[in-house]
Chain A
Amino acid sequence: MNIDWASVGAVFGVSLLATVGLVGLFALGTVGLAKQGSALVSSASYACFALCAAAVGYGIYLIVA
Chain B
Amino acid sequence: MEHVTLLLAVVIATALVFDFTNGFHDTANAMATTISTGALNPKIAVAMSAALNLVGAFLSVEVAKTISGGIIDEHGIDTQVIFAALVGAILWNLATWLLGLPSSSSHALFGGLIGAAVMSAGVSAVNGGTLVTKVLLPAVAAPLVAGLAALIAARITFRLGKHADDEATAKGYRAGQIASAALVSLAHGTNDAQKTMGVITLALVTGGVVAPGSNPPVWVIVCSGLAIALGTYIGGWRIIKTMGTGLTDLRPQQGFAAQTSAAISILASSHLGFSLSTTQVCSGAVMGAGLGRKGGSVRWSTATRMAVAWCLTLPAAALVSAGAEFVAGRGTWGVVAVGVVLVAASGAIWLAARREPVTAQSVAAPATRPAALTGQEQAGDLAATIPGPPPAAATAQRSAAA
Is A10 within 8 A of B274, CB to CB?
A: yes
Q: Which residues of B are found within 8 Å of A64, using beta-carbon distances?
A: 59-60
Partner among B56, B60, B146, B161 whose Cβ is within 8 Å of the Cβ of A31 = B161
User: Which residue of chain A has the shortest Cβ distance to B159 in the bound complex?
Assistant: A27
In the complex, A16→B386 CA distance in Å? 33
Query: Which residues of B (125-146) have their CB < 8 Å from a CB of A?
Result: 128-129, 132-133, 137, 141, 145-146
The reply to whether the CB of B190 lies closer than 8 angstroms to some CB of chain A is: yes
B164 interface neighbour in A4, A16, A35, A52, Cβ under 8 Å: A35
Residue B385 interfacial (CB < 8 Å) = no
Chain B residues touching A, range: 35 or more
Q: A4-B133, A26-B256, A59-B267 are in contact. Are A15 and B172 (CB under 8 A)?
A: no
Whether a CB of chain A sits under 8 angstroms from the CB of B273 is: yes
Q: A20: which B residues are within 8 A, CB to CB?
A: 149, 152-153, 156
Report B-chain residues with C-beta under 8 Å of the C-beta of A33: 168, 172
B172 touches A34 (CB 8 A): yes
Tally of A-B Cβ pairs under 8 angstroms: 127
Asked if A16 contacts B145 (CB within 8 A), the reply is yes
Q: Would you list the 8 A-B pairs with minimal beta carbon distance, nearest first?
A: A30-B172, A34-B168, A23-B153, A1-B129, A19-B149, A15-B265, A7-B274, A19-B261
* Complex-state Cα separation, A28 to B173, whole angstroms: 11
Q: Is the CB of A63 within 8 A of B187?
A: yes
CB neighbours (8 Å) of A12 from chain B are: 141, 145
- Are B148 and A16 in contact, CB atoms less than 8 angstroms apart? yes
Find the residue from A12, A20, A23, A62 having the highest chain B CB count within 10 A.
A23
Q: Write the residues of chain B forming the contact surface with A, with a CB cutoff of 8 angstroms.
A: 56, 59-60, 128-129, 132-133, 137, 141, 145-146, 148-150, 152-154, 156-157, 160-161, 164-165, 168-169, 172-173, 176, 179, 183, 186-187, 190, 253, 256-257, 260-261, 263-265, 267-269, 271-274, 276
- For window 3-43 of chain A, which residues contact chain B by CB distance below 8 Å? 3-4, 7-8, 10-12, 14-16, 18-20, 22-24, 26-31, 33-35
A-B contact pairs, 23 of them (CB 8 A): A1-B129, A3-B137, A8-B274, A11-B265, A11-B276, A14-B272, A15-B146, A16-B145, A16-B149, A19-B153, A19-B257, A19-B261, A20-B152, A20-B156, A23-B154, A27-B156, A29-B172, A30-B169, A31-B164, A34-B165, A59-B183, A60-B186, A63-B187
Q: Give Cα A30 to B177, complex, Å.
A: 12
**Which residue of the partner chain, among A2, A27, A60, contacts B133 with CB atoms under 8 Å?**
A2
B183→A60 contact, CB < 8 A = yes
A15–B145 contact, CB under 8 A? yes
The prevalent SS among residues of A at the interface is helix
A10 pairs with B272, CB closer than 8 A? yes
Which residues on B sit within 8 Å (CB–CB) of A16?
Answer: 145, 148-149, 152
* Contact A24 B260, CB 8 Å, known A18-B268, A60-B183: no
Question: In the complex, are the beta carbons of A27 and B160 less than 8 A apart?
Answer: yes
Chain A residues, Cβ within 8 Å of B183: 56, 59-60, 63
CB distance from A51 to the nearest CB of B (A): 12
